[in-house]
Chain A
């Protein structure tokens, strides 16, 4: 049971004493300028090392290592599969065709549309974390949390775009599609909550993924070019000579469409902190997994999902104020003067004494977190830019 709880919460609870927790919390909650244990600014990421195409046998792969020593590799394999045409799919296609016809569009458009809707189940993700069985809650939950934005993010069409998003990209024709196997392997112990690491690695792996070039046309059985160099990227790339000014000054955006990334953001009091370390997560009021993607239409970032993650601080042992401590009972008089109400929980709070965080998080805080991720030149773009640097450089 304990293991279960641990698994579903943000990470294994570090063995930190209530006094330490209180100290970290206090420094992180300093208004305006939190002081982080490693001296970073609130939005600063720890340095990471990353490379792509490390596994020659896969269609695409990446390795990312965080500064805290956690490392992950992701391999993407693709396989051609026959599409089982269910009654739904058939009727859907027919309806679309019908709609296309009545809507005055040519029939071929209708067919094209009909064939461009893929199924989310064509993307399979398996996560392996040392010490966990593959049916444990954490790997399963993580996999689903990453797969969902992946298949559900639907990008607009247009030049170099991907009609129907990843699902649409996997359609070969009405009868055939690609099935994608994304295998995520965490090489180290999950010291901190592994989601951002795994998400970034998967993102890079998908960017480097190539599918053999299709030579057959239309509804024929697929037939591919045997030249691997002719293979096409799963996420189409613009020509590097593109004259289009990129949305972010100074960045080289070769991808119009990119897989989403999921960032872990925590809030401590009024402060929003990115790339939290283990200790920082341990004291956070709220832990959010925010999935964003690049929106091809607006050229900006788009929010795909926010998930709250059970903050581990809830499970910590509370500190005992001196006023209640039998050992120190009566030795201080200060206890009475400093009764503060915790802003988020409304509970009585004694400064310097750790209380597990309880209750929700303010809307304003969440709005702030989201805004910091999404805004132009914000953290989200910075991350994507950094990842692009890995892939292109």
Chain B
């Protein structure tokens, strides 16, 4: 029997057609063979400015232009390549040195291969996105070369060739092709002009083969060594690199191995394993918790072994532990800095995953759990068995001075620990050559890996932010920690601004297209009321009596959507930033300065575009009708809250503007009462205000002010709430699926359990959490005649039991879930601050579409529509940004308070004594070895450890070290059921050397800023709170 094969050799097109075959596993468990056909082409340009051929063949776009060529004709040279060179990195080089590639000092003219980019995408999505961003910027001259699509550089995988080998070969093929191509196209020019093509790879085999094939190739380290500033750059190479090809993991394995992906998936589907985000307790770095869908309450993860290399924020898979290992949540403050003081960063043999000290700390907890308390009955615990997604980011920290070796002999590489600012993140082992220089600096590091044989994660140094405690460094640290985009707006964004700049005016002629669909409200007596010094004025108000006795009330909001068109660079930038971030001395704008503080801002005396909500209200603040319109207004005055209050209270003023403000105030009071009757909560947050514009000479602490609540504050607030609610209803009726709304979920009653328990025990007060109204009422009853702050304290604690409000897309929840719990409103959104919140901008677009506003070009009606998926992405981002902005703002205030205390301390130190400042504090939480005290004067809360209790007979002005020594002599008696802690001096049973504190108690505290003078964390400043008296 004979068989014949078809012969393809005569087909001229076979060389151009090839295919890529791979297996794809879908989520539903299907396994498919995927075949992609590739049609190879020859017109993909090399993108070198030297090239004379490629510009003639490169594909053109619809306008006949070709993409600009990226690679410079005179690339930088190094000692090894004096004629200049183009860099071709392979995937490993990018994985190990992405920070280097982003560095502005080196790594220009880089050819990124499609092969490499795809491989990177499979290995690390964050790095892939960073690389894409690099390719997009013009400065770094990164060129993405589609080598797989070009005939000459396409590489077919050979038989028995692994994918890696094939990709390495592809890299070498490209390098070869580039050299030949450049030589050919620049024949006429001098040989000198041709840059070298340098492969950067960390793969030894690839280096060897490149040498054989006569292609220039260097390892990342070798390449960097040849650059200026090599020491600094070398530190930026990923540390886990060596682990990859060196050695089977040597020595002891501290952590259990993760389950295989398929095992985890099987377990997750079967419901034996659970997935969730790993959170570390702020008070105890050894304890984490995970909220999983299957259980109401979070599961507890105790100790390093169980948390198994998970870092706060990672998405992990957990397994519930058997019941005999269940524990109660810890009642002890455990801080890494103190427990692991003497760890050696050079991994020694004696290193155990759980040090004895940690072991002891844990034992205490177990003992507690098995102890008498009913309240803290053991809760289910779990262990981490795998990580689905690492959410490692870049961390700001300081080098632990005690971990650097004493003799700082030059540039020797050494291991140091970096203590992240975020206490939930373990210290990071970093290899550096500049340990001595980095001491006392805020530095940015990243985590590269956490292997089983290492107690701590390893990472590498990225850059220094500057000296500790300098304003610049600390501010940047804060912004980095909270992922705030603080880079200046790129040119593409600024290009979207109106070309007139500050000279932009509302067109005079009403025939101008700018007036299309706008109502002329310039004759209304509109004014704005804001905090003092406010530049970005979002909102203005007016009220006037109508002939029928009713009132017309108008809320006018800056018409930002007029200036920010959907999907241009400015809109995209704003959607990424999500919100303006307010720091004590700095504002990170969401929109460029020109818009935020001028063109959009409803400044007084000038005409501005606005989006107005107009109601007709009866004198009893019943809404008769509501109307929405784009408008042109002219604000008569910009008041601060105080000024407005003064003007209203000044009975001698009877002008129309003042009268209208009085009307507004009157109506707002009725509205507020109605809202309260409906069950709105009056919540409290521990906020202070910093008025930073004071001169140098005064008491720095005088700037720290608790927020005063004036009637005018609530005036503005009421109408803004009312406008938001009205707008929410309107856009929901027009866009039932895609309206941008805001909800505050009803907190589950178990969130309040502990607080209820505490109140019952300590004060015999009941908290009714059945509804927001009931809660509001019961909160009102929680008062203490002797302690006026007690009520606020309870409100602060109650707020913490609730979930946070969030933006969402109407289609994502059932209508019954739209409720805003805190405001007791069935529907809510944000409409009134489009200058500083992106959500409001979207709502503006939706509202203008809902009222059929056509805009200047008749396109505005479509601007409001947006797909639900996109909207959900935006919601996710702005919720995240919003939360971070709040944290950043708070952290900024905290830092400022610390600095003010320090400044005061220094001032007083000049006079000889730094005794801190005495204030009232309130006990918020009681632990076994300390308490958390809240100091309302400064809006700070701090941990007070045993040594910081000033017992009768102690002197207050002991130094930190002296106090630290006290700890060994202190004993505590903690009653978790009564929430009391009694601190005694060892050996002094009598009560004259003892102090007891209990929950909610008011204590006198001494607040000062102290610096660690020796031991670990030298130079670290913190706010120290000493308790001066108790019971």
Candidates A45, A80, A215, A219; contact of B29 at CB < 8 Å: A80
**If the complex has contacts A212-B23, A393-B5, are A79 and B261 also in contact, measured as CB distance less than 8 A?**
no
Stretch at the interface among B262-270, B392-400, B545-553, B717-725: B262-270
What are the interface flags for A33-60 relative to B under an 8 Å C-beta threshold, 1 for contact and 0 otherwise? 0000000000001011111000011110
Nearest A residue to B163 via CB reads A227
A382 contacts the other chain (CB 8 A): yes
B491 contacts the other chain (CB 8 A): no
Chain B residues positioned under 8 Å from A212 (CB to CB): 23, 31, 33
Nearest B residue to A231 via CB reads B23
Interface residues of B in 146-172 (CB under 8 A from A): 157, 163
Contact A224 B33 (CB under 8 A): no
Q: How far is the CA of A297 from the CA of B19 in the complex (A)?
A: 40
Chain B residues positioned under 8 Å from A389 (CB to CB): 3
What are the interface flags for A301-335 relative to B under an 8 Å C-beta threshold, 1 for contact and 0 otherwise? 00000000000000000000000000000000000
B709 contacts the other chain (CB 8 A): no
Chain A residues positioned under 8 Å from B372 (CB to CB): none
Residue from B23, B25, B260 with most neighbouring chain A CB atoms (10 Å): B23
Q: How far is the CA of A387 from the CA of B1 in the complex (A)?
A: 9
Contact B23 A225 (CB under 8 A): yes
A272 to chain B, nearest CB (A): 17
**If the complex has contacts A216-B262, A223-B25, A224-B25, are A48 and B2 also in contact, measured as CB distance less than 8 A?**
yes
Interface residues of A in 350-389 (CB under 8 A from B): 382-383, 385-387, 389
**If the complex has contacts A224-B31, A390-B3, are A229 and B157 also in contact, measured as CB distance less than 8 A?**
yes
Contact A383 B1 (CB under 8 A): yes
Q: How far is the CA of A49 from the CA of B1 in the complex (A)?
A: 10
Chain A residues positioned under 8 Å from B31 (CB to CB): 78-80, 212, 222, 224
Candidates B1, B21, B30; contact of A228 at CB < 8 Å: B21
Contact A223 B22 (CB under 8 A): no
Q: How far is the CA of A382 from the CA of B1 in the complex (A)?
A: 7
Nearest B residue to A54 via CB reads B6
Contact A221 B3 (CB under 8 A): no
A217 contacts the other chain (CB 8 A): yes
Candidates B1, B6, B23, B157; contact of A224 at CB < 8 Å: B23
B814 contacts the other chain (CB 8 A): no
Contact B3 A57 (CB under 8 A): no
Contact B33 A57 (CB under 8 A): yes
**If the complex has contacts A224-B23, A224-B25, are A49 and B262 also in contact, measured as CB distance less than 8 A?**
no
A164 to chain B, nearest CB (A): 21
B785 contacts the other chain (CB 8 A): no
B11 to chain A, nearest CB (A): 14
Chain A residues positioned under 8 Å from B265 (CB to CB): 220-221, 223
B4 contacts the other chain (CB 8 A): yes
B153 to chain A, nearest CB (A): 20
**If the complex has contacts A79-B30, A212-B33, A228-B33, are A386 and B263 also in contact, measured as CB distance less than 8 A?**
no
Interface residues of B in 258-295 (CB under 8 A from A): 260-263, 265-266, 269
Q: How far is the CA of A347 from the CA of B31 in the complex (A)?
A: 62
Chain B residues positioned under 8 Å from A50 (CB to CB): 3-5
A68 contacts the other chain (CB 8 A): no
Chain B residues positioned under 8 Å from A47 (CB to CB): 1-2, 4
Interface residues of A in 211-255 (CB under 8 A from B): 212, 215-217, 219-229, 231
**If the complex has contacts A57-B33, A223-B25, A226-B23, are A45 and B263 also in contact, measured as CB distance less than 8 A?**
no
Q: How far is the CA of A45 from the CA of B262 in the complex (A)?
A: 50
B125 contacts the other chain (CB 8 A): no
Q: How far is the CA of A65 from the CA of B24 in the complex (A)?
A: 33
Q: How far is the CA of A226 from the CA of B21 in the complex (A)?
A: 9
Contact B35 A57 (CB under 8 A): yes
Chain A residues positioned under 8 Å from B25 (CB to CB): 223-224, 226
**If the complex has contacts A212-B33, A226-B24, are A386 and B261 also in contact, measured as CB distance less than 8 A?**
no
Chain A residues positioned under 8 Å from B269 (CB to CB): 221
Contact A51 B23 (CB under 8 A): no
Chain B residues positioned under 8 Å from A225 (CB to CB): 23
A20 to chain B, nearest CB (A): 28
> Do most interface residues of chain B lie in helix, strand or loop, or is the interface mixed?
mixed
Q: How far is the CA of A48 from the CA of B3 in the complex (A)?
A: 6
What are the interface flags for B236-267 relative to A under an 8 Å C-beta threshold, 1 for contact and 0 otherwise? 00000000000000000000000011110110
Contact B260 A216 (CB under 8 A): yes
Contact A228 B23 (CB under 8 A): yes
B190 to chain A, nearest CB (A): 46
Q: How far is the CA of A141 from the CA of B357 in the complex (A)?
A: 78
Q: How far is the CA of A219 from the CA of B262 in the complex (A)?
A: 10
A96 to chain B, nearest CB (A): 23
Chain B residues positioned under 8 Å from A227 (CB to CB): 22-23, 163
Chain B residues positioned under 8 Å from A222 (CB to CB): 29, 31, 262
B447 to chain A, nearest CB (A): 27
What are the interface flags for A198-221 relative to B under an 8 Å C-beta threshold, 1 for contact and 0 otherwise? 000000000000001001110111
Residue from B1, B4, B265 with most neighbouring chain A CB atoms (10 Å): B1
Chain B residues positioned under 8 Å from A226 (CB to CB): 22-25
What are the interface flags for B956-978 relative to A under an 8 Å C-beta threshold, 1 for contact and 0 otherwise? 00000000000000000000000
**If the complex has contacts A227-B23, A228-B21, are A220 and B263 also in contact, measured as CB distance less than 8 A?**
yes
Nearest A residue to B260 via CB reads A216
**If the complex has contacts A80-B29, A221-B266, are A56 and B22 also in contact, measured as CB distance less than 8 A?**
no
A72 to chain B, nearest CB (A): 14
Interface residues of A in 51-95 (CB under 8 A from B): 51, 56-59, 78-80, 82
Chain A residues positioned under 8 Å from B30 (CB to CB): 79-80
Interface residues of B in 6-23 (CB under 8 A from A): 6, 19, 21-23
Interface residues of A in 248-281 (CB under 8 A from B): none
**If the complex has contacts A57-B33, A382-B1, are A216 and B263 also in contact, measured as CB distance less than 8 A?**
yes
Nearest A residue to B36 via CB reads A56
Chain A residues positioned under 8 Å from B6 (CB to CB): 49, 51
Chain A residues positioned under 8 Å from B2 (CB to CB): 47-48, 386
Contact B23 A49 (CB under 8 A): no
B118 to chain A, nearest CB (A): 12
Q: How far is the CA of A56 from the CA of B30 in the complex (A)?
A: 18
Q: How far is the CA of A386 from the CA of B29 in the complex (A)?
A: 38
Contact B1 A45 (CB under 8 A): yes
Candidates B1, B5, B266; contact of A51 at CB < 8 Å: B5
Interface residues of A in 115-147 (CB under 8 A from B): none
Nearest B residue to A213 via CB reads B23
Chain B residues positioned under 8 Å from A51 (CB to CB): 5-6
Nearest B residue to A379 via CB reads B1
Chain B residues positioned under 8 Å from A220 (CB to CB): 260, 262-263, 265-266
Q: How far is the CA of A202 from the CA of B636 in the complex (A)?
A: 88
A178 to chain B, nearest CB (A): 9
Q: How far is the CA of A221 from the CA of B261 in the complex (A)?
A: 10
What are the interface flags for A161-180 relative to B under an 8 Å C-beta threshold, 1 for contact and 0 otherwise? 00000000000000000000
Chain B residues positioned under 8 Å from A228 (CB to CB): 21-23, 33
Q: How far is the CA of A144 from the CA of B1 in the complex (A)?
A: 27
Q: How far is the CA of A222 from the CA of B269 in the complex (A)?
A: 12
Nearest A residue to B21 via CB reads A228
Q: How far is the CA of A216 from the CA of B269 in the complex (A)?
A: 15
Given pairs A220-B263, A228-B33, 6 additional interface contacts (CB within 8 A)? A47-B4, A48-B2, A220-B266, A226-B24, A226-B25, A386-B2
15 A-B residue pairs with Cβ-Cβ distance under 8 Å, sorted by A, are A49-B4, A49-B5, A56-B19, A80-B31, A212-B31, A215-B262, A216-B262, A217-B260, A220-B262, A220-B266, A223-B260, A223-B265, A226-B23, A386-B1, A393-B5
10 tightest A-B CB contacts, nearest first: A216-B262, A223-B262, A386-B1, A221-B266, A49-B4, A56-B35, A228-B21, A220-B262, A212-B23, A390-B3
